[in-house]
Structure 1
């Protein structure tokens, strides 16, 4: 039980909203001890991605942890978690960097301008076109900014999610290496370990 208590507290701390602690821990323990439980590691992976996806979102729009665990929300389509996510760098800040690059490099130094911007900003700029950005007037600046904001927020969200996916795969790979090591030392049957590794590879192929 002590191990379950520690795992429940770790999951509670990782969840992006800290309210109704008693009810939350009860729901988390239920998720951990259920006969259909996906296990601590998988739950932690889901909670960490959910927290990353909701970073910057107002707390009132994030479910209570007891609700999230009781409703088995870890099994949701993770694409939905990232929908509407606010980038760590707001679109307005990224836009000012674009305007600064326009002033500094102008139309002819497009390559240098892009090198001064981060990945999501560059992708948003490509969608609009550097020439369009350089030639915009005060009259159409707001319209172009709204286009930029739409593209930028989408690309920033994709970048954040891709980074989270890479982190998860790294953890899975490290877990697989540990299992191989255990098999080599004789602590686990080699066939069992190889089966686990094949499952990881199959799961990756479906992503």
Structure 2
């Protein structure tokens, strides 16, 4: 999902997000990373995630709190311990799981389990076959995965 915004809107969005960020260092780098992130993620998702992150690091020594640019470049809004249960947040996380063939994270988060398929005898590249099976499983079960996550994590 590509989100088109004017530079002025993104600057305003950054200031909104930055107001919630728990470590006010390297603002310029954070702003550049935010501009990149906002191309694909909505402000509500980023703001909800940074608010959750701020709560998890409240009271920590600042040396253990990620700089804003590090948090953004690492797509930390998708972290399971802070990702808000919104359709957009889940879609972004699920797309990342699909890209990385990560069915384990899906099982951990929603309980739906992937089972490795039987490998046909004529398959030359077993690894490629298995990775494709993981992606196919994620696509096939997309709606069920999203529904289960929303049921478990929605406020």
Name the count of aligned residue pairs. 89
The residue that corresponds to 1:182 in the other structure is none
| Equivalent residue, structure 2, for 1:117 | none
Question: In 1, distance between residues paired with 2:64 and 2:37?
Answer: 23
Q: Write the deviation string for residues 123-172 of structure 1: whole angstroms up to 9, x where unpaired.
A: xxxxxxxxxxxxxxxxxxxxxxxxxxxxxxxxxxxxxxxxxx9xx78xx8
The structure where helix makes up a greater share of residues is 1
The correspondence for 2:58, drawn from 47, 55, 61, is 55
The equivalent position to 1:64 in structure 2, one of 63, 67, 72, is 67
Deviations 1:91-112 (A, max 9, x none): xxxxxxxxxxxxxxxxxxxxxx
Shift of 1:202: 6.0
Cα gap change, 1:38/1:202 in structure 2, threshold over 3 Å: closer, same or farther? farther
Instruction: Report the Cα distance in structure 2 between the residues aligned to 1:69 and 1:30, rounded to whole angstroms.
Output: 9
Structure with more relative contact order (C-alpha pairs < 8 Å, separation 6 or more): 2
CA RMSD of aligned residues (A): 2.6
In the TM superposition, residue 203 of structure 1 has moved relative to its aligned partner by 4.6
Write out aligned runs for 1:24-39 (5 A). 24-33=30-39, 37-39=40-42
| Structure number with bigger Rg | 1
In structure 1, the residue matched to 2:76 is: 73
Alignment CA distance shift 1:77-1:203 (3 Å): closer
Matches within 5 A, 1:139-158: none
Distance 1:4 1:31 in 2: 10
Per the alignment, residue 104 of structure 2 pairs with: none
Counterpart Cα distance in 2 of 1:45 and 1:65 = 15
Structure 1, unaligned stretches of length 5 or more? 82-164, 173-199
Give TM-score, length-normalised by structure 1.
0.39
Q: Which runs of 4+ in 1 moved over 6 A?
A: none
CA distance in 2 between counterparts of 1:28 and 1:51 reads 17
Task: Give deviations 1:6-27, integer Å, cap 9, x for gaps.
Answer: 0011112211111011001110
C-alpha displacement of 1:72: 0.7
TM-score by length of 2: 0.51
Aligned position for 1:195? none
SS at match of 1:26: helix
- 2:23 aligns to what? 17
